[in-house]
């Protein structure tokens, strides 16, 4: 009797534990099923796949559209080398300002200093205005891209020439333009002779440096001369 009672109690305990653990599991499964089902209904109602596809279609821009938006095609056309041919073809006698042909201007690139000085002197003799040349070149994108350096150099050349004219042809009343131009790119011995003559003529290194640096055109053209003359005088002491 006692043994059967113990067996009955054990059966009750194990049965109770099993049912207690099963109930939460079933409840949890039911809840998960409910949530998953509602999630599927939510996704179906909004059809997110379609939204993603539509969004991709809206954000994709063709390269041609980008070029059109930024004006790249038009910029390329304006700066294309063929455009330069068109511009010169439409000029009187094929010359800028009626005086400068393309062959001449192209030949100046990487030419020796003496060559473009000779050409610039000819332009000055022909009455080519630095301002007019600069404005004309900058008025066309293709010319601006290729020939701005010419306008800049000619403007500097003209300014320097006008400065020497106001100085009666000599810096500090002692150094003429031909002499200082002749020293650039010359041999070391030739420069030493030139600097020795300046020293004999009483040219002060500081006075020369200050005068050259006082004018942007002179500074751009002759700062090298002031620097080298200062070095020469320091070594001579």
Q: Which helix (H) or strand (E) holds 193?
A: helix 188-200
Residue range 144-198, pLDDT digits in tens:
988 999 998 888 888 888 888 888 999 999 999 989 988 988 899 999 999 999 9
Nearest to 225 by CA among 236, 211, 204, 209: 209
Backbone dihedral region for residue 91 (phi beyond 0: left; psi -120 to 50: alpha; all else: beta): beta
Residue 194 to residue 111: CA distance in whole angstroms:
25
The CA R_g of the chain, rounded to the nearest whole Å, is: 44
Is the pLDDT confidence value at 20 over 80? Answer: no
CA angle, corner 38, sides to 32 and 39, nearest 5?
Answer: 90
**Coil, strand or helix: which one is 107?**
helix
Number of H helices, E strands in the chain: 13, 4
Q: What is the pLDDT of residue 14?
A: 44
> E strands along 35-166, which residues?
95-96, 100-101
What's the token pair of residue 171?
Answer: 């810096």
pLDDT, tens digit, 9 for 90 and up, residues 30-87: 445 444 544 444 444 445 555 555 554 444 445 445 445 544 445 455 456 678 888 8
């Amino acid at each position: 009797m006692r043994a059967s009672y113990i067996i009955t109690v054990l059966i009750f305990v194990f049965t109770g534990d099993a049912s207690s653990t099963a109930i939460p599991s079933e409840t949890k499964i039911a809840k998960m099923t409910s949530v998953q089902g509602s999630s599927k209904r939510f996704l179906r109602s909004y059809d997110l796949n379609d939204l993603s596809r539509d969004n991709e279609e809206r954000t994709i821009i063709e390269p041609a559209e980008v070029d059109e938006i930024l004006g790249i095609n038009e910029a390329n056309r304006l700066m294309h080398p063929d455009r330069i041919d068109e511009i010169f073809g439409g000029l009187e006698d094929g010359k800028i300002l009626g005086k400068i042909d393309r062959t001449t201007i192209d030949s100046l690139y990487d030419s020796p200093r003496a060559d473009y000085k000779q050409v610039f002197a000819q332009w000055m003799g022909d009455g080519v205005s630095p301002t007019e040349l600069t404005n004309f070149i900058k008025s066309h994108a293709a010319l601006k891209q290729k020939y701005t350096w010419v306008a800049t150099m000619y403007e500097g050349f003209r300014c320097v020439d006008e400065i020497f004219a106001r100085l009666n042809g000599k810096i500090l009343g002692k150094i003429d333009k031909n002499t200082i131009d002749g020293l650039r790119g010359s041999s070391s011995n030739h420069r030493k002779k030139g600097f020795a003559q300046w020293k004999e003529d009483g040219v002060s290194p500081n006075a020369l440096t200050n005068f050259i640096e006082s004018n942007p055109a002179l500074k751009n053209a002759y700062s090298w001369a002031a620097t080298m003359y200062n070095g020469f005088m320091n070594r001579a002491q």
